[in-house]
Amino acid sequence: MKNIDDIMEVGMGQIRKANSETNQFTDHLKPCFGVGFYNTNTKESYMLHYPDLMFYDFEKDVESIKSDLGAKDTIAYACGGATSSTEDNSYNKFILEDRDYIETTLKDKFKDENVSISWSSDDEMAELYLNKNTSEFVLKKVKN
């Protein structure tokens, strides 16, 4: 990257679109979910960062992104959603249900080979980066 203007942060509760020149990243995904969408032809992208799915219409958001970017040349990458070793089982059940819903929705809207999933381990914090210089999503694990 040339300078800090080449990167766009996607904060909690946001969906942001970036042009072909701008890289994107989500900040601190622990129980939060990060999903990136990247059109390999136009180099345009979207990234979202949701704390949980109860407050968002994930399927509608994905459909809108698919409509804008097109499905043929778009890859999707989902990550985050860390379970907890200290919370009760109902918390982890909720996270696991959201993971399943995200994965099913993405594979329904895009070709299976264009969908990548990397869920976090217990108590793990991560950040999702889209590097348009290499056309790759990069999952960085960070210390709590």
CATH number at residue 35: 3.30.1330.200
Nearest to 115 by CA among 84, 77, 83: 77
Range of the domain at 128: 4-142
**Range 81-96 average pLDDT:** 85
The dihedral built from the CA positions of residue 122, 127, 105 and 108, taken in this order, carries a sign that is negative
Report in angstroms the alpha-carbon separations of 104 from 52, 62, 136. 16, 12, 22
Confidence of residue 144 (pLDDT cuts 50, 70, 90): low
**Residue 4 pLDDT more than 50?**
no
Total number of domains in the chain: 1
**Range 115-144 average pLDDT:** 89
| Euclidean distance between CA atoms 94 and 113, whole angstroms | 27
